[in-house]
Amino acid sequence: MTQSAALTLAQRLLAFNTINPPGDEEACTRYLADWLQARGFDVQLQRFGPRRLNLIARLPGSGAGKPLAFTGHLDTVPLGAQPWRYDPFGSQIVDGRLYGRGASDMKAAVAAFACACLAQQESIRAGSGAVMLITGGEETGCDGARALIDNVDLPEIGALIVGESTANYPVVGHKGALWLRCATQGKTAHGAMPELGVNAIYLAADAIGRIRQFIPGAPHPLMKQPTLNVGRIEGGLNINSVPDRSWFDVDIRTAPNLNHGTIRHNLASYLGDTVSIDTLIDLPAVLTDDGHAWIQRVFHYCQPLHDEALQLRVVPYFTDASLLTDALASPPTVILGPGEPTMAHQTDEYCELGKLSQAQQLYGTLLNDWMQQPVS
């Protein structure tokens, strides 16, 4: 298996438009499933909506221990309003960079660990095996992972590698996400007689002014302060009526020391009876003990790729690990992928070819190491 195999596969995956919303991963997922099946993987497809698919791919082992698992998603975010210099579905290579929507987040990583598994197939089959959990719908709240958990008997695994964008830097966890919709109810009236109504937009504006001072909870030693952002607001039907309904969406990023139910309760009390709150997304934080033997081995193999001594790091974005780690009986989990963290969701998104090659080699090393020393 040559190093160019991951690049070739990444280019093929980038050519598929899997933008979410609306979400359409089927053609891309079927291509990857056929590609893997032709090379010896056992594959299983799971539908979770029109043109929406998840994929479980296995290389069974004959040795003792549980398999090593990789997870990644094939959906991508929209292109944005800014024009792209490079075709977002053209898989162009310029100055050592592979361009395309999803290059960093995270089709290059999927290609890298798929090719690493194939390169290590002999070792994997003689060892404890390998599993790939490929999802859709991650970008809109881990919809595919949730469907996978609810409808499929997931395999037992020993450890999980999440191929999200870290520039091949090992990350031991990420923040949780609590997305809330806060709604206000008013009374409609003619816009020329506003005194006869109750303006729901004004109520929402007052609540937003107050919510900026709300503190979700205490800081975490590694994840630091929780954050809160009002990301969207909507209200009213027409300009010449008093709006009787408005709502705004709140994005709260949390840590393992915080309870989402408590945060919601405290926010509701803080905002008062004029605001009703519904939960849109509730994804827990993920954090693996850095003293775990396998995590230490991951850091050992990653260290030569970086000039300075590796430090414990977490990332603020969520991943499918929010749901998968609990469903898989809480295996040690590391976030590790070739993508550039600053390129995720950006115009002219790219992945450096050197990082892609490094990732394939690194994943292969971790696979070979696991087959010799699986965690019980």
Catalytic status, residue 138: yes
Assign 3-class secondary structure to 308-328. Answer: CCCCCCEECCCCCHHHHHHHC
Q: Which residues contact 34 (CB under 8 A, 6 or more apart)?
A: none
Q: Say which of 24, 138, 320, 340 is annotated catalytic.
A: 138
User: What is the DSSP track for 144-199?
Assistant: HHHHHHHHS-PPP-SEEEE--SSTT--B-EE-EEEEEEEEEE-B--BTT-GGGSB-
Q: How are strands ordered across the β-sheet holding 245-254?
A: 227-235, 245-254, 176-185, 275-283
- Tokens 């090659």 belong to 357
User: In angstroms, rounded to a whole number, what is the distance separating the alpha carbons of residues 174 and 280?
Assistant: 19
Residue 339 CA, chain-centre distance (Å), reads 13
- For residue 348, give both structure tokens: 């002219």
Q: Are the CB atoms for 20 and 49 separated by under 8 Å?
A: no
In terms of Cα–Cα distance, which of 370, 374, 327, 323 is closest to 156?
Answer: 327
User: In angstroms, rounded to a whole number, what is the distance separating the alpha carbons of residues 146 and 176?
Assistant: 15
Q: How many CA atoms lie within 13 A of 93 on its CB side?
A: 12
Q: Say which of 24, 25, 75, 164 is annotated catalytic.
A: 75
Phi then psi for residue 167, to 5 deg, are: 55, 40
User: In angstroms, rounded to a whole number, what is the distance separating the alpha carbons of residues 102 and 18?
Assistant: 9
- Please work out, in degrees rounded to the nearest 5, the angle formed at the alpha carbon of residue 84 by the alpha carbons of 82 and 87: 150
Catalytic status, residue 75: yes
Catalytic annotation, residues: 75, 138
